[in-house]
Every structure is written in C-alpha cells, then in structure tokens.
Structure 1
Amino acid sequence: MYNELDEFLSAETTVDYWYDDGFSIARDILNEFSSNDWQKLFNEVLNKDLDWQRKLIYCIDNQVIEEELTIICKLLLIDDEELFEMCIDSLRTFDNELGRLLIKKNPEIIMEVEKRINLAGNATKRVLKDFLRKFQ
C-alpha cells in the first residue's frame, strides 16, 4: 500500500481534483496500511518533496493514531511555514490522551507554536491559539 500511496501523492493533479476527491482516496489508502507500510512511510517521508508532504499531512485524520502522530512529528522538523501550520492543524484533531501525551513529551512543539503565533496571519493565528488552548 505504501507504493500505491507514494505514486498517488507523486502524481500531478489539479488543485480542484485534490481537494474534491484526491485526499479522500489517499485517506482510504492510509487506512489500509500495514505496520510495514507505516515503517516505509516513516523512513521515506523526509525524502519526499514539499508538495508530497503537504498532501500527506492533509490526509492524516487520526484513524491510526500512533503512526500518524509519529509522521506529523517528523514533518514538523521540515523548515517550511505552510507545512508547519498544516502539521499543527492536524495535531489539533488529536485532542485525546495519546495526542496530549505526545505534546507533553515534546514541549518544543508548544514553544515553536508560541514563537510563531505573533508573526502569523489572522487565520493561522486562530489555528495556533486553538492548538495551545487544547494542549497547554
């Protein structure tokens, strides 16, 4: 399934197709992942281009909590403002015991959000504030 996801996220698509149907197809593929697929994704995610990574993070919907949290944390390491904001937005959906435990174990995430909040635009600022409200 990893190879299927990789090919799908690598394919050229229109923005409309991606937001209308593409992300849903990618979510379905992720929901079929085995532990080996998750390991391949973990090993390869930092080697992918930003467009691929952004598509992936948009697909994560807290169905396979631990694996998805691990991938989000890995993508937080990438120096890209949009990807960072997307990761924080995804983390907001993990407002549960595992999500709070992850944030507690990684206080640098809170510190990074606090550092960026004053520089963010209005929409992003709302996302960051909501994240802090849930996890501080």
Structure 2
Amino acid sequence: MYDKLEKYLLGYLPSNYWYDEGVDIAQDIISNFTDDDWKLLLERLSKQDIEWKKKLAYCLYDDNNKYELLVLLELLNTDDNELLEISLDSLRDFITRKTVNFLLNNPQIVKRIKELYHNSSKPTQIILEDFINKINRFIGDNFISFN
C-alpha cells in the first residue's frame, strides 16, 4: 500500500481535484496501511519533496493511529512554512502527552510556531491559536503564548 500512496501523491493532481476527491482517495489508501507500510513511510519520508509531504500531512487525521502522530511530528522538522502550517492544523486532533512532550523537548519548533504566527494571515493565526490553546489546556498551563 505504501508504494500505491507514494505513486499517487507523486502524480500531478490539480488543486481543485485534490481537495474534491484526491484527499479521500489518499485517506482510503492510508486506512489500509499495515505496520510495515507505516515503517516504510517513516523510513522514506525525508526523501520526499515538500509538495508530497504537504499532501500527506493534509490526509492525516486519525487520532487513534500512533503512526499518523509520528509522521506529523516528523513533518514539523521543516523550513517550509506551509508544510509546518498544514502539519500543525492536522495535529490539532492529536493533542496527547506524546505531542506535548515533543514540543517541550523541541523548543526550536515552538519558536518556529511563534514566528509563523507573527508572520501569517488571520486564518493561519486562528489555526495556530487553536492548536496552542489545546496544548495549554492539556497541560493546564500557559506553556506557549504568542507574546
């Protein structure tokens, strides 16, 4: 299944098709992944281009799937603001101890989130505020603020 997903995300997909149907097709492929498929994806993730990673991040939503969380956390290690934004948007459904610990142990990503917030449009700021508010509620503290 991994090879099928890789080929699908590498193919040219016009943006209107991607959002209308492509996401659902990719999510269907992902829903049939085995542990071996996930391990292969994690192994090859760094070799994929940014557009491929953006499409992947957009498809990850199953907060009961530990592999999806691991992939999204890995995608946070990027210099691409749009990929960071998409990954954070998807992560809003994955607020767990693992997500919080990852952020606590990676202050450079927290710094990037703040920078992205201060240099983003209002819709992106709303997404980031929601993500941070969920993190702060989870730990019962104002661990991250945008000041």
Aligned match of 1:15: 15
Structure 1 counterpart SS, 2:38: helix
Where structure 2 has 5 or more consecutive residues not aligned to the other structure, the ranges are 137-147
Measured against aligned partners, the alpha-carbon deviations of 1:55-106 in whole angstroms (never above 9, x if no partner) come to 1111111255210111111111121010000011011011456545554555
Q: d(CA) in 2 for partners of 1:11 and 1:82?
A: 20
Structure 1 counterpart SS, 2:56: helix
Larger RCO, structure (CA 8 Å, separation 6 or more): 1
Aligned match of 2:53: 53
Between 19-28 and 111-120, report the one with greater CA deviation: 111-120
Structure 2 counterpart SS, 1:37: helix
Kindly report which structure 2 residues correspond to 1:36-115, keeping only aligned pairs within 5 A, or say none: 36-62=36-62, 64-96=64-96, 99-100=99-100, 102-103=102-103, 106=106, 108-115=108-115
Q: Cα 1:77–1:61, aligned 2, differ >3 Å: closer, same or farther?
A: same
Contact 2:75–2:87 (CA under 8 A) maintained in structure 1: yes
> Which one has a larger percent helix, Structure 1 or Structure 2?
1
Q: d(CA) in 1 for partners of 2:34 and 2:127?
A: 31
Contact 2:63–2:94 (CA under 8 A) maintained in structure 1: no
Q: d(CA) in 2 for partners of 1:79 and 1:19?
A: 24
How many matched pairs? 136
Report sequence identity in percent: 33
TM-score normalised by length of structure 1: 0.88
Kindly report which structure 2 residues correspond to 1:121-136, keeping only aligned pairs within 5 A, or say none: 121-136=121-136
